């Protein structure tokens, strides 16, 4: 079993436990994460669980988390970047949350071109793990239940786009973005729930576009390169889709810091191309 196999096994085991115990942390408050956002108890709890599961694997050299200020030195090997509980504010309303993990063959900070694997866990009515690896030709999806993992099949982004989920208030977005968003929303069903993993899962299943643009409140976008944008871009591009920060692939974004943010768009290639063209004209 190589290091990527060990990581995949550890994520499956930990996700099983997280899925069965989320209700214990639904209404617990915590402090703030390094990005200045409010944490819930589940953020810190999940981060501790994944750190214990991943940091001690032979071949893991560093662990970076949305919930930690600095990268933890774990020895030599791959760097792990994780959002341990994406969309954690959804716990209060009993909606879906997730876990996002990027595995980098480089010291952090690093661009997405240094990634060798991406893992996305969705804790919904049932729990799934979607994984893309450099040593595999397909994006795999696994059903996690009863302490076991069952491979469901492989993901290929549908050619027909049917759903769109675009974040941000219209009054805080650019006119150029609002114009193209309105066009997309006329032609596709609206799907936005406030948890990136859950919203992207809709795009992977049905085809379409997910996006979090630059806004007046978040001029560099809200999602973080290492913990959300690049890992999900790696997965979407491996599934036959495209990613963008508005002008280039998210895998080409070269962050200066661990918690750097970027505008983030993920989905069918023709929609991403149309979005980039509209933003460049605006």
Domain spans of the chain, in order of start? 3-154, 163-281
Does the annotation flag 85 for ligand binding? yes
Per-residue pLDDT for 78 more than 80?
yes
Does the annotation flag 78 for ligand binding? no
- How distant is the alpha carbon of residue 33 from its chain centre? 17
Phi, psi of 115 (to 5 degrees): -80, 150
Q: What is the mean pLDDT of residues 147-173?
A: 90
- How distant is the alpha carbon of residue 14 from its chain centre? 17
Does the annotation flag 222 for ligand binding? yes
Per-residue confidence (pLDDT) for residue 46, from 0 to 100: 95
Does the annotation flag 228 for ligand binding? yes
Cβ neighbors of 106 (< 8 A, separation 6 or more) are 79, 114
State the pLDDT confidence band at 154, using cuts at 50, 70 and 90: confident
By C-alpha distance, which of 279, 280, 271 is closest to 184?
271
Does the annotation flag 104 for ligand binding? no
Does the annotation flag 38 for ligand binding? no
pLDDT digits (tens, 9 = 90+) for 220-268: 999 999 999 999 999 999 999 999 999 999 999 999 999 999 999 999 9
Helix (H, G, I), strand (E, B) or coil at 247: coil
Domain spanning 3-154 has what CATH number?
Answer: 3.30.540.10
Domain spanning 163-281 has what CATH number?
Answer: 3.40.190.80
Does the annotation flag 256 for ligand binding? no
**Higher confidence at residue 92 or residue 45?**
45
Instruction: Give the Cα-Cα-Cα angle 256, 181, 100 (nearest 5 degrees).
Output: 45
Does the annotation flag 156 for ligand binding? no
Does the annotation flag 88 for ligand binding? yes
Topology match between the domains 3-154 and 163-281:
no
Per-residue pLDDT for 132 more than 70?
yes
pLDDT digits (tens, 9 = 90+) for 14-56: 999 999 998 887 766 656 677 766 667 788 999 999 999 999 9
Does the annotation flag 63 for ligand binding? no
Phi, psi of 214 (to 5 degrees): -65, 140
* d(C-alpha 80, C-alpha 5), whole Å: 14
| No. of helices (H) and no. of strands (E), the chain | 6, 15
């Amino acid at each position: 079993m190589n290091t990527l196999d060990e990581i995949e096994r550890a994520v499956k085991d930990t996700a099983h436990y997280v899925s069965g115990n989320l209700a214990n942390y639904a209404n617990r408050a915590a402090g703030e994460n390094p990005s200045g956002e409010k944490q819930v108890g589940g953020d810190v709890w999940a981060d501790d669980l994944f750190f214990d599961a991943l940091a001690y694997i032979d071949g893991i050299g560093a662990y970076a988390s949305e919930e930690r200020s600095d990268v933890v030195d774990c020895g030599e090997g791959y760097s792990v970047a994780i959002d341990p509980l994406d969309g954690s504010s959804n716990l209060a309303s009993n909606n879906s949350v997730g876990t996002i993990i990027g595995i980098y063959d480089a010291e952090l900070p690093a661009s997405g071109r240094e990634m060798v694997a991406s893992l996305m866990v969705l804790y919904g009515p049932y729990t799934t793990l979607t994984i893309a690896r450099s040593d595999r030709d397909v994006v795999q999806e696994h059903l996690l239940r009863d302490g076991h993992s069952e491979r469901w099949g492989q993901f290929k982004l549908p050619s027909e786009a049917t759903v769109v989920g675009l974040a941000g208030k219209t009054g805080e977005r650019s006119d150029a973005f609002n114009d193209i968003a309105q066009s997309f929303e006329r032609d596709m069903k609206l799907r936005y729930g406030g948890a990136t993993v859950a919203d992207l899962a809709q795009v992977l299943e049905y085809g379409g576009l997910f996006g979090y643009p630059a806004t007046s409140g978040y001029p560099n976008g809200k999602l973080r390169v290492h913990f959300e944008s690049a890992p999900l871009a790696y997965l979407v591009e491996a599934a036959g889709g495209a990613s963008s920060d508005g002008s280039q692939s998210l895998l080409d974004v070269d962050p200066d810091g661990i918690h750097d943010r970027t505008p983030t768009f993920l989905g069918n290639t023709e929609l991403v191309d149309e979005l980039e063209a509209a933003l460049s004209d605006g």
